[in-house]
Structure 1
Amino acid sequence: MSITQQYILNTYRARRLCEPAPPAPGAHDWQLMRELRDYQALRAVVAGRPARGRLRTVLSRWVHGRRPRPSC
């Protein structure tokens, strides 16, 4: 059974039971990838390695108390 077929079956069951429909496949993939990247950066900081990306920006703001530069 494919993902699409399973989704259609789950939607049908939810409608018959008057429950909310499940999210479509792939609806939260980007959010999941961002959270995974942030989690890996956090693990790097805890292990004593330098962070990169958004987490590093947030940590530097906390430490230095600066506001981020506006990006124009």
Structure 2
Amino acid sequence: DFSIRRSNEICGFTAHTRYLNAFPAAHTYALSSPGSLGVFTAGGCVVLANDPSATLCFPLIEQHQINVT
């Protein structure tokens, strides 16, 4: 919990954070520090991509107004 909260402070995650996760959802990098757990803790939005391809991710970035990847 401390690690996620501190990472949120460093990264400036808030309820306005819109995070695109293009990695496997259970991967440590995508899940924590701060990752998806940090965004959830801050009250933000996580969008999961089925794969990391530009043809999938760029439309998701535009559609969901992603501001963190």
Same fold (TM over 0.5): no
Question: TM-score of the superposition, structure 2-length normalised?
Answer: 0.31
Question: TM-score of the superposition, structure 1-length normalised?
Answer: 0.30
When you count strand as a share of all residues, which structure comes out higher?
A: 2
Greater Rg by CA: 1
Higher relative contact order (CA 8 A, sep 6+): 2
When you count helix as a share of all residues, which structure comes out higher?
A: 1
